[in-house]
Amino acid sequence: MSSPMSAEQKTVGILIFPDVEVLDFCGPFEVFSAARLDETRRRETESPFRLLLVAETLLPVTTSGGMVVNPHMDFCSSQPLDLLLVPGGWGTRRLLTSAPHLDWIRRRAAECELLASVCTGSLLLGAAGLLDGRRATTHWKSLDEMERRFPKVQVTRNLHVVEEGALWTSAGISAGIDMALQIVSRVCGEAVARKTAAHMEYPYPENNQRRVRIEEK
C-alpha cells in the first residue's frame, strides 16, 4: 500500500564520493528512511523523505572502508532537492579544489530548503563559500583546520550540531544521526523524531553538547 504522504515527500540528496565516510551518509540515510508520520502504520506507509544518493557520475563509488555504492543520480540529473546533505571522510580533501563538486554544491544549495553537512563535509561547504559569516562545526580533529582555511567562519567547538537557520553542520561521523533526528523534528515534529529514534534503538539527543571533550581555545 502506498503512503498517503508520498506526494508530500521531501527529496533528500546525499552526496557521495570516493573515500566518503560510511556512517556519515548511512547514519542520516537510516534516520530519514526510518521516519514515519504514523508509527502504528509503519509497514503500510512510506517515509516522508525520499532519498537519493548523488555522485559526480553514475559509476559505483568506493567508500572509506571499501563498501561499493551505486548512486541514484549524477550531477547532470535535473531532479530538484529539498534537502542537500554533504558527508565527510578522507575523500573530502581531494574535493576541496574540485570545481565540478563545489559548483554543484553551490547550485543545489541555492535551490534547497535545507543544507546540511556531517563531519568534514563542512569543509566542502566552506570551500564553496557557503559558511562565511556563519557558525559551523566539524570533526574535532579538523576544527583547527577549519579555522585556518576559512577565517570568516565562526567555528563552534562545544556543540554537536550547529543550526544556522536553513544551514546545519554537525560534528564527527555519528553526529550525523543526531543532526538527522533534529531535522526530522523540524520537518515532521518532535514526536515523529522521537519515535524514529526509538525504532532505531538510538538515544534521542536530549542536549546538544559535543560528546567528545576537547580543549576550548
C-alpha to C-alpha distance for 24 and 85, rounded to whole angstroms: 10
What pLDDT, on the 0 to 100 scale, is given for residue 15?
98
Candidates 26, 76, 112, 119; catalytic one = 119
pLDDT, tens digit only, all 217 positions of the chain:
233 333 489 999 999 999 999 999 999 999 999 999 999 999 999 999 999 999 999 999 999 999 999 999 999 987 899 999 999 999 999 999 999 999 999 999 999 999 999 999 999 999 999 999 999 999 999 999 999 999 999 999 999 999 999 999 999 999 999 999 999 999 999 999 999 999 999 999 999 999 887 766 5
**Is 119 a catalytic site residue?**
yes
| Domains assigned to the chain | 6-200 (3.40.50.880)
C-alpha to C-alpha distance for 4 and 69, rounded to whole angstroms: 30
C-alpha to C-alpha distance for 117 and 156, rounded to whole angstroms: 14
What pLDDT, on the 0 to 100 scale, is given for residue 84?
98
What pLDDT, on the 0 to 100 scale, is given for residue 2?
30
Model confidence, pTM: 0.93
